Structure 1
Amino acid sequence: MPYLTTELRGDVALICLDRPEKRNAISDAFVEELNAAITWAEAVAKAGVIHANGPHFCAGLDLAEHVRKTPFEGVHGSRRWHEVFGRIQRGRLPWISALHGAVVGGGLELASSTHVRVADTSAFFALPEGQRGIFVGGGASVRTARLMGVARMTDLMLTGRSVDADQAERWNLVQYVMPEGAALDKAVELATQAATNAEISNYAIIHALPRIQDMATDDGLFVESFIASFTATSPEAEARLNAFLSKKAGSKVAKPGSNE
């Protein structure tokens, strides 16, 4: 039985986690379906949304499958998660995740690989691996820790507590909090907007920004100057800049909430 469904809305590819009877727990087969869905999305779309069917986004690792693995099989499984989730974080498309219900363990790791996270008020976040006698294995020690900081991640893993969507926003785990049931519409709206950007700009944003954050200040500024110059001289950038200068493009930045 498929664990995912896909849909194309204009230039936006939607990938829906569709294993609600298991709270969308992530198995090896699930990861391989996700990998295939990413390949499809990159071929047909300019931006992507990951969301889920059922009461929860994703409750994490399929423990029934994991407990039967040898340690070496566990390493290979973890590395495959890293590879596939890495295709989201540093692939061809900007990805927005729409989160609700449990965003726990591997579910939070999957969400952390997306570029913008939208939660509704039903969402809650946790990393309960410490209570299961295991350690995070889907990238949380790198991606999630960089979002919210090592101290907060340590707290979640040591205590097993969960945080709600408002707390997650304060911790930088999510960027938007919507009323219950409204996260998907907002995620599609954001992805649709991102899809109108120049492809080279989106690529630079999702690839260069995280790498620059890992650099020393002077190194990052040096790299930024080259990326800025390279993107500004592309044919698409030239056309967009000329359209703006001739007032043909409605791209004036407006104050939030205004009708300008």
Structure 2
Amino acid sequence: MISPSPSLDLEIRKDILLISLNRPEKRNAFNDDLLLSIEKVFDATPKNIKCIIIKGEGKHFSAGLDLSELSQRDVVQGLEHSRMWHRILEKIQFASAPVVACLHGAVVGGGLEVAAACHIRIAEKSTFYALPEGQRGIFVGGGASVRLPKLIGTARMTDMMLTGRIYSAEEGERIGLSQYLVEDGSGMEKGLEIAEKICGNAQLTNYALTHVLPRIEDASHQTGLLMESMMAAIAQDSSEAKQRLQDFLEGRAKKLGE
């Protein structure tokens, strides 16, 4: 798979796609070129890919928006730019395969918004999180106001923006910014371990978790329950599910903890 930009490195390992943000001299800050390049990759992800990993080169995952390239925009242009972020991060959240973020160093502003769009976040101990937009007289525009409250609650996000509070990797795992905390330098090892587990799942189950579950969360109580019932019926009727159940009943499947 050919990278659409020198700011993005791509590697395929069997059925896992590795995406590396490659602007270490800018702390992997996002400009439009990098963001649009990510969109191109997600639009052209090979069909055999079962899991995607996003990581950052250098000392940081991403320090957010590249303010050195921030141009003056009127209200309409600002709205369109924010909606571009929304469009692209939706493609991460609802990608053709689950997305794992391997985090280290700064996960700030737009970098945190990208991480929040991923399905699993692994943080090395060097990781720290912040939303400095509140201290710079601006507001988040890449989906943080929708995704982050679901992870950490509205009160914590409000605190981050009102006070400039920075969360450490340990605090981030405790409040839900990451699901895993690992030693510095071992994020990719853990990411590949998790990606291999994801690749071993039934594809329909992975689809249900990444495409249907978020929509159940956004639905009303009764609509959510109906969507769950429909997805459960569809999943259990698949040939793969039937074979996996048969393997379990006949002792061919691994038991929990093995």
Question: What's the TM-score once normalised by structure 1's chain length?
Answer: 0.94
The change in CA–CA distance for 1:152 and 1:42 in structure 2 (over 3 A counts) is farther
Structure 2: distance between partners of 1:68 and 1:44:
42
**Structure 2 segments unaligned to the other structure (5+ residues):** none
Aligned to 2:160: 156
SS in 1 for 2:121: strand
How far 1:42 moved relative to its partner?
A: 4.5
| Letter matched to residue 120 of structure 2 | V
Shift of 1:67: 3.5
Is 1:7 the equivalent of 2:11?
yes
Which secondary structure does the structure 1 equivalent of 2:224 belong to?
helix
Counterpart-to-counterpart distance in 1, 2:213 and 2:243: 24
1:221 to 218, 222, 225: 225
Cα shift readout 1:83-137 (whole Å, capped 9, x = no counterpart): 1110111121100000000000000000000001000000000000011111000
Q: For this pair of structures, how many residues does the alignment match? A: 254
Aligned to 2:191: 187
Counterpart code for 1:23: R
Counterparts of residues 123-134 of structure 1 (less than 5 Å): 123-134=127-138
Q: Residue deviations 1:139-159, cap 9 Å, x none?
A: 000011211110000000011
Q: How far apart in 1 are the matches of 2:46 and 2:236?
A: 24
1:253 aligns with 2:256: yes
> What displacement does 1:217 show?
2.7
Q: Distance in 2 between matches of 1:109 and 1:158?
A: 17
What amino acid sits opposite 1:205 in the alignment? L
Q: 2:202 aligns with which of 176, 198, 204?
A: 198
Q: TM-score, normalised by structure 2?
A: 0.95
* DSSP-derived class of the 1:15 partner: strand
1:177 alignment partner, one of 178, 181, 185: 181
Picking from 49, 52, 58, the partner of 2:56 is 52
For 1:43, what is the secondary structure of its paired residue?
coil
Match of 1:18 in 2: 22
Superposition deviation, residue 168 in structure 1 = 0.6
Partners of 1:42 and 1:92 within 8 A in 2:
no
Root mean square deviation of aligned Cα: 1.3
Determine the C-alpha separation between the residues in 2 that align with 1:48 and 1:3: 18
How far does the alpha carbon of each residue in 1:25-54 deviate from its partner, in whole angstroms, 9 at most, with x for none?
111111111011223434341111000101
Which one of the candidate residues 69, 72, 82 is aligned to 1:68? 72
* CA distance in 2: counterparts of 1:65 and 1:93, whole angstroms: 32
